[in-house]
Amino acid sequence: MKFFIILLAVCGLSFSTLAKETIHETKEQIQEDLQKGFDDLKVQIDELQTKIDSASGQVKSDMQAQMKSLKKDQKKLESKLSQLKTSSGEALQDVKAGAKSAYQELKKSFSQAKQRFQQENKETK
């Protein structure tokens, strides 16, 4: 422990500076990872919406409610990503957890919608 304190002193860092830098890097990395995942999902959701829009009547109407729910989850994640950009301190941990949860929820909803579309599209052919 003494060696670590001496090393910090030699490098001109304090515990609080080191902690802030670690939190900041973690926040930026999480933001970047979630944003990339969100952008990828957004493209896939748009592609699925295009397929649904060109589907036959019954499949199209059956999928509209699920797509509406998916878009709601998408907006929720957008909101959490926005909150993540502006959060700090203790609130940051809650916002990070909420953003990760919203991402997983969107990912799951997309997977279910895609699977349902494929199943319903197969049944009509």
Please write the tens of the pLDDT for every residue from 41-90: 999 999 999 999 998 888 888 899 899 999 999 999 999 999 998 988 88
Residue 20 lies in a domain: no
Residue 109 lies in a domain: yes
Residue 5 lies in a domain: no
SS3 of the chain: helix, strand, coil, percent, to 5: 90, 0, 10
AA identity, residue 61 = S
| pLDDT above 90 (res 112) | yes
Rounded Cα distance between 108 and 102, Å, is 10
CA angle centred on 124, ends 122 and 125, rounded to 5°: 70
Tracing tokens 């926040």 back to the chain, one arrives at: 27
Q: CA separation (Å) from 66 to 31, 49, 52, 75, 105?
A: 27, 11, 11, 14, 13
Rounded Cα distance between 11 and 106, Å, is 43
Residue 1 lies in a domain: no
**pLDDT class of 12 with cuts at 50, 70, 90:** very low
- Per the model's pLDDT, the better-predicted residue between 27 and 15 turns out to be 27
> Which pLDDT value is given to residue 22?
46
Tracing tokens 């997983």 back to the chain, one arrives at: 104
> Which pLDDT value is given to residue 11?
46
Residue 37 lies in a domain: yes
Rounded-to-10 torsion of CA 10, 15, 17, 18: 80
Range from 85-94, 97-106, 113-122 that averages highest in pLDDT:
97-106
Range from 23-27, 83-87, 118-122 that averages highest in pLDDT:
83-87
Domain count, the chain: 1
Residue 8 lies in a domain: no
Residue 65 lies in a domain: yes
Rounded Cα distance between 72 and 76, Å, is 6
- Per the model's pLDDT, the better-predicted residue between 110 and 25 turns out to be 110
* Domain of 117, in residue numbers: 25-124
